[in-house]
Structure 1
Amino acid sequence: MLLLCTVFVVDDSITQGIVIGQTFWFYKTLPAVALATFCSYLINKNPIGFSIVDGLFLLFMISGIVITWFPARELTPITQTLFNVLILYFLIKIQLSQVHNSSVILIVCFLLSGFIEAVWGLRQLYGFTHSQHSLFKTTGSFYNPGPYAGYLAMIAPMALHFFLRGNNALNGKITRNAILAIAATSFISIVIILPSTASRASWLSAIAGCLAVMIFNNRQLINLFATVKRKKIAFISFIGLMALTVAFYSLYVFKKDSADGRFLIWKNTIEQIKDNPFGVGIGFYAGSYGKYQAEYFENKNGTEQEEMIAGVPQYAFNEYLQICAEWGIFPFLLFLTILALSISSAIKNKKIAPLGGLISLLVFAGMSYPFSLMPFVISLIVLIAICNSSEDYESINKPIARVPVFLFYISAFCSTVYIAAQQKEIYESYQAWTKSRYLYNTKSYETAEKSYSEEYEALKHNVEYLFEYGHILSNIKDYRTSNLILGRAKERSCDPMIYNILGKNHQALGEYDQAIEHYLFAMNLVPHRLYPSYLLTRLYIEINDLEKAKESVQNLLDTNIKITSPATEQMRNDMKNVLDSLEKTTSRSTTNDFVDGCENCF
């Protein structure tokens, strides 16, 4: 229960308090999970088996740990998380084998979490409590409505199953009625709040999971379909296909730019996978992706519409493509095999509730980024473990001996405690960074640099911290160190502002070729942004290359702006003045004086 409470964690005392706070909670909770599971094993002493899925999952996670360990040769946050997730899976599997109906208890906990989240969202919707994001009314405990809706969509099929049949899962009239009440209230509250999130991915995933629950809960429907004649099957299939086509098209039109933006990301991610069959490294997707999007627009492959919708994705908005891009093709195939065997096992053993939840989560993962958030990772592990568990202890032919089990528990407990103890120092660094950001935001760069430098070792894997630290160093004219920090940031992010600052650093150092390269990259990465063109124009004027300066100004004036603001209007007006000046004079001093007068445009 403590583990599943990860979804409710919102830590306002640190930067990125939702995502980071949930991760810290997971680290702190896992030693307690290991200890509790060990006590359960000592009390019940039921045999423990080892399945094919267990072996594949072990191989999959070890491959991830190896991928993250070798480039850095240290326990990075990703390596620690993967190691803990591996331990969690086997702890859950062991617990499921020790206590009868553990899977039912876990799913009821899911239902309770879904009900609490739905009520949380309803309170936000009607103004009784604040949202986690100023731009959205309904986010629950998440940062935006997308993941929030995805979590509710995952719970909905499980609630539906217990509402239809799950009340027979446990003995005792009071217990059955209690579960029925929890399932009904969870499902109804989710159905009420889900439309307000405007998340198409969650709607589709909820429908897919609920359909799976209804189909596999109704064997008569399956048998009836099997007896229908082929002509009727063809007719029904045609009608269903037409209905699906209309539904998908309606959802596409509902938020067309968002859908087109994801298609653009998927298109470039596929090219990324083709060039990197062994993966680009876990956590390095965004940095690598930026090169492909910039090259795509540089080669004039993008349409005008694509140039307008291009963004700066941190995720692929398709977990299957992102896993393949980061981990490589072989681990990706392992992952697909684990999922396929889990679904097959759930159908075979009639574990309909976790099957519905898993299908919903997997559909949502095809259109969003749930596995980048700890509550979804925990949910995936728990659902896979339940789908592959068996409460028939007599069916275990070759149970694992007690000595290896004891060794596993000792190593699991010690390692999780060690990792959790390390988090104390990192958490304090996050708190210090949160306080130091006030200095950064008020442009007290000299003082801020001292604070930021002290937290570098603990936070050097955080992109937002690296960007701010690199920007501070650039403003205090420590350009070389700034380039090193921002060089680390650009490996993990494709934010064009990183390249803009790198370009300004090289320009200040007199390294004009490198500066031009970074400005052009930022221009190609997100073509509808004006700032890189503005910086490039200033550089050409500084080196007295007036022909290229004219070309750069014209490019800026011809650029279609996605969002008009006072800053963009000021830029356009300034560039028009620059163009007029360049046409009237060839004097370098005159043009430099003019550019110096534009320093306060931003």
Structure 2
Amino acid sequence: MLPFVEPFMTIILESSKNALANELLRWLSWLITAALLASAVVVRPDLFAGIITGKQWALEVATPGALACCLLFITTDRRISLTLTDVAVGMLALWVTASDGLLHPGHYQPMGDTIFNVSLWLLIYLFMRLASWQRHFTTAAIGLWLAVALIISAWGLLQLYGLAPSQHALFRITGPFHNPGPFSGYVVAALPLALAVIIGTKTLVPPKHACRSITILKHHFLLPTTAEGVGRILLKYISIGVVIALLLVIPAARSRAAWLAAITGALFVAWVHPRTQRTRWMIWSIFKQWPMAVRTLVIMGGLVLLMSVGWGMYALKSGSADGRWLMWQVTGTLIAQSPVVGHGAGAFDALYMNAQADWFQSGNGTAAQVLVAGSPEAPFNELLKLWLQYGAVAIALTLGIMWAVMTSKPVETPQARFLVRRSLMNRGLKGALLSLLVFGLFSYPFDMAPHMLLLVMATAMLAGNRRPVMTLSHHRATNVVITGTIATVIAMAVAYMPQRMAHYAALKKWQEATQCYDMRRYDDAVELYASALHPLSNNGLFLQMYGKALNMAGNYTHSNDILAIANKNHNSYIIHNTMGDNHKALGNTAEAARAYQNAAAMVPGMMFPKYLLAVLYRDTGQTVKAVETANQVLTMPVKVQSMATDEIISEMKKIISSYKQ
């Protein structure tokens, strides 16, 4: 029988309607999983930041299918089992919701946004959790994960060789992402999975019922004779392709965080494999037999090697490493202000730049940090960001989830069949999870939907490997859960669907407004920004750009009103520079000087705010202050030589020379 016919023949030959329904549900769950993973390659140029928001949109479009599958799973299986991981995930979701709703109500992010985000990821977690015990589902999900990673890796290779356009003018390799960092973090998580599949797929043996001719063909051409054989071989070949593609593309992407993540995940898969236990024991036995002096030299040599590798990775992009260290230190000062419960969602955007200004004004900043200080969009460490937003409680719950997942053991049951042994898939998923977490210690992957999806998928598929702590099997209890779930879902869909449609319509207008601004059609840009204001009224970046457009259109008072709101959620030096320009145009010299000084304090290594301050002093007749500020600008080191910096230096020299005359 042809391998592609066998799955359909299996469905037809099943005797009961339940078997047919289960088979169709299994195929539907595969399709929904493919749609969720495919969101990583979606780019929508019609949306603002369409490389990022397009992926979120695609994920949300696929989510109703996941919801339908969840309801079908619950109604067809009256047993609802909860593991320790499920309980910890639920507690974390409750804490995040309670934190934003009760402890920090609407400080930096609307409560509705928090509820939507928590519900979205809980729904996807529930879908993956319920589907993971379907026949062959985990293997299929891993295969789809690897296939998407292979496509994205191939995309990066095409960009590397100039055969496909990059998504960023400054980088050759981005894949469908906006820079090499997210690209590397996404594809590298597939390496442990691919290695586990390569190690775990068995050599195919011809079935006893296969005819002699098919057996001969398989023997000579390595053709499998069953659908499961086709799936197993295809999965192994995809895994080999992933490993080869990653070896080619990861070094070219130059992401040190991705290298560390890849090494961690690969070493984990190799370390926990049963075949390495004997090897490790033999190496340890030989090592113990060596003299103490030799063992000491070996240990010291290993430490020197590790330090040399670490120094080499630091020296490769020392400025980037120094910048991350500055961000972590400044973020630490914010965490110390509320270490237990945090500051709430959106706290980094709202608080970081003022904290960085305080850091330098208090004398903590070094000369090297002055050069690398900027206006970051994230602290480049997911644990620090979680701690900043939701406190040590969230950190404890997250570590509890990771402990429950990483210490889980696979459960082999006759009901759950897998093309690859579940123990090997379990190791691969744990390695992928470790890779994501290590990458998250040096970047911000979980701000993007595709990376968060991988984290939720891996956690959910591993969650069932622990013994249930609670099982609801009574019909009444289950009916209550099902009825409550359906009612809640319908209510949330009615509430949030119009809101999400309005959100993406506003993103379209935002993109059109940005294009008008770039073409210097400021009045048109202001009109488009105003039409998108209501759905995006809490988006600090949107308000910043709206305020800047109002400034360029000459509406200085309204610009300051919008920027004052933006400053609460998205504090940045651009906002203060623009407010300074507005106050200068309105004749408010003291307020303008204060705004420029705030901007200069946030990024002390940037010339532009002090340049604006010096020009303000010159134009208002404050000659002494103008010359003093101009001298400060001239003594600043130039980060990047450009026409803009040359013009600034030339203007500062004119101010000084005019004073001498």
- Give yes or no for TM over 0.5: yes
Q: Is the 8 A contact 2:348 2:378 kept in 1?
A: yes
Matching of residue 91 in structure 1 with residue 149 in structure 2: no
How far the C-alpha of 1:494 sits from its partner, in A, is 4.4
Q: What is aligned with 1:248?
A: 310
Q: Is the 8 A contact 1:10 1:141 kept in 2?
A: yes
Matching of residue 371 in structure 1 with residue 371 in structure 2: no
d(CA) in 2 for partners of 1:511, 1:54: 57
What amino acid maps onto 2:374 in structure 1? G
Q: What is aligned with 2:218?
A: none
> Secondary structure of the equivalent of 1:314?
coil
> Secondary structure of the equivalent of 2:50?
coil
d(CA) in 1 for partners of 2:480, 2:86: 15
**Alignment equivalent of 1:319, drawn from 375, 382, 385:** 382
For residues 263-292 of structure 1, what are the alpha-carbon distances to aligned partners after superposition, in whole Å with 9 as ceiling and x for unaligned? 111111111111232323212303311112
Q: Is the 8 A contact 2:83 2:464 kept in 1?
A: no
d(CA) in 2 for partners of 1:207, 1:500: 44
For residues 206-258 of structure 1, what are the alpha-carbon distances to aligned partners after superposition, in whole Å with 9 as ceiling and x for unaligned? 11000000111133345546756657687665444333222111111111111
Say if 1:157 and 1:409 are closer, same or farther in 2 by CA, change over 3 A. farther
Matching of residue 9 in structure 1 with residue 42 in structure 2: yes
- 1:106-145 matches, within 5 Å, as 106-145=141-180
Say if 1:414 and 1:122 are closer, same or farther in 2 by CA, change over 3 A. farther
**Alignment equivalent of 1:220, drawn from 259, 274, 278:** 278
How far the C-alpha of 1:410 sits from its partner, in A, is 4.6
For residues 423-449 of structure 1, what are the alpha-carbon distances to aligned partners after superposition, in whole Å with 9 as ceiling and x for unaligned? 222212221222222322233323322
Say if 1:171 and 1:435 are closer, same or farther in 2 by CA, change over 3 A. closer
d(CA) in 2 for partners of 1:88, 1:248: 38
Say if 1:302 and 1:192 are closer, same or farther in 2 by CA, change over 3 A. same
How far the C-alpha of 1:455 sits from its partner, in A, is 0.7
Matching of residue 540 in structure 1 with residue 596 in structure 2: no
Matching of residue 399 in structure 1 with residue 472 in structure 2: yes
> Secondary structure of the equivalent of 1:3?
helix
d(CA) in 1 for partners of 2:302, 2:629: 53
The answer for unaligned runs of 5 or more in structure 2 is 1-33, 205-225, 412-421
Q: Is the 8 A contact 2:513 2:528 kept in 1?
A: yes
What amino acid maps onto 1:71 in structure 2? G
For residues 23-54 of structure 1, what are the alpha-carbon distances to aligned partners after superposition, in whole Å with 9 as ceiling and x for unaligned? 111222111111023224444x2633112222
- 1:180-329 matches, within 5 Å, as 180-218=236-274, 219-224=277-282, 230=288, 237-277=299-339, 278-329=341-392
For residues 123-146 of structure 1, what are the alpha-carbon distances to aligned partners after superposition, in whole Å with 9 as ceiling and x for unaligned? 111222111111111111111111
- 1:77-88 matches, within 5 Å, as 77-88=113-124
d(CA) in 2 for partners of 1:188, 1:342: 29
What amino acid maps onto 2:278 in structure 1? Q
Say if 1:325 and 1:397 are closer, same or farther in 2 by CA, change over 3 A. closer
Matching of residue 157 in structure 1 with residue 220 in structure 2: no
How far the C-alpha of 1:412 sits from its partner, in A, is 3.4
For residues 355-388 of structure 1, what are the alpha-carbon distances to aligned partners after superposition, in whole Å with 9 as ceiling and x for unaligned? 0100111110001110111011111111111122
> Secondary structure of the equivalent of 1:141?
coil
d(CA) in 1 for partners of 2:147, 2:78: 29
d(CA) in 2 for partners of 1:286, 1:263: 18
Number of equivalences: 580
What amino acid maps onto 1:389 in structure 2? G
Q: Is the 8 A contact 1:35 1:413 kept in 2?
A: no
> Secondary structure of the equivalent of 1:29?
helix
What amino acid maps onto 2:321 in structure 1? A
For residues 296-316 of structure 1, what are the alpha-carbon distances to aligned partners after superposition, in whole Å with 9 as ceiling and x for unaligned? 222333222221111211111
For residues 40-85 of structure 1, what are the alpha-carbon distances to aligned partners after superposition, in whole Å with 9 as ceiling and x for unaligned? 4444x26331122222211212222334442169554454222211
Q: What is aligned with 2:53?
A: 20
Say if 1:345 and 1:62 are closer, same or farther in 2 by CA, change over 3 A. same
What amino acid maps onto 2:439 in structure 1? F
d(CA) in 1 for partners of 2:68, 2:299: 52
d(CA) in 1 for partners of 2:176, 2:497: 23
d(CA) in 1 for partners of 2:628, 2:410: 63
- Larger deviation, residues 155-164 vs 293-302: 293-302
The answer for unaligned runs of 5 or more in structure 1 is 585-602
Q: Is the 8 A contact 1:347 1:355 kept in 2?
A: no
Say if 1:268 and 1:28 are closer, same or farther in 2 by CA, change over 3 A. same
d(CA) in 1 for partners of 2:487, 2:112: 23
d(CA) in 2 for partners of 1:491, 1:225: 59
Matching of residue 440 in structure 1 with residue 517 in structure 2: yes
d(CA) in 2 for partners of 1:89, 1:177: 29
d(CA) in 2 for partners of 1:409, 1:239: 61
For residues 479-519 of structure 1, what are the alpha-carbon distances to aligned partners after superposition, in whole Å with 9 as ceiling and x for unaligned? 33322322233334343111101122233344444332221
Say if 1:455 and 1:563 are closer, same or farther in 2 by CA, change over 3 A. same
d(CA) in 1 for partners of 2:300, 2:135: 45
Q: Is the 8 A contact 2:73 2:130 kept in 1?
A: no
Q: CA RMSD in A?
A: 2.6
Identity of aligned pairs, percent? 27
How far the C-alpha of 1:456 sits from its partner, in A, is 0.3
Q: Is the 8 A contact 1:272 1:325 kept in 2?
A: yes
> Secondary structure of the equivalent of 2:170?
coil
d(CA) in 2 for partners of 1:418, 1:222: 57
- Larger deviation, residues 202-211 vs 218-227: 218-227
d(CA) in 2 for partners of 1:375, 1:404: 34
- Larger deviation, residues 402-411 vs 229-238: 229-238
What amino acid maps onto 1:552 in structure 2? T
Matching of residue 425 in structure 1 with residue 488 in structure 2: no
For residues 147-186 of structure 1, what are the alpha-carbon distances to aligned partners after superposition, in whole Å with 9 as ceiling and x for unaligned? 1011111001100100011458999433322221121122
What amino acid maps onto 1:118 in structure 2? S
Q: What is aligned with 2:70?
A: 37
- Larger deviation, residues 78-87 vs 142-151: 78-87
d(CA) in 1 for partners of 2:614, 2:176: 45
d(CA) in 2 for partners of 1:228, 1:511: 78
TM (norm. structure 1) is 0.90
d(CA) in 2 for partners of 1:152, 1:282: 28
For residues 502-559 of structure 1, what are the alpha-carbon distances to aligned partners after superposition, in whole Å with 9 as ceiling and x for unaligned? 1222333444443322211211222222221122123333444332222212111111
Matching of residue 491 in structure 1 with residue 568 in structure 2: yes
Q: Is the 8 A contact 1:324 1:331 kept in 2?
A: yes
Say if 1:136 and 1:67 are closer, same or farther in 2 by CA, change over 3 A. same
d(CA) in 1 for partners of 2:79, 2:40: 32
Say if 1:215 and 1:499 are closer, same or farther in 2 by CA, change over 3 A. same
> Secondary structure of the equivalent of 2:457?
helix
Q: What is aligned with 2:536?
A: 459
d(CA) in 1 for partners of 2:533, 2:72: 40
d(CA) in 1 for partners of 2:199, 2:569: 46
d(CA) in 2 for partners of 1:52, 1:480: 56
- Larger deviation, residues 65-74 vs 432-441: 65-74
**Alignment equivalent of 2:578, drawn from 495, 498, 501:** 501
d(CA) in 1 for partners of 2:570, 2:367: 24
Q: Is the 8 A contact 2:356 2:602 kept in 1?
A: yes
Q: Is the 8 A contact 1:317 1:369 kept in 2?
A: yes
How far the C-alpha of 1:571 sits from its partner, in A, is 1.7
Largest Rg, 1 or 2: 2
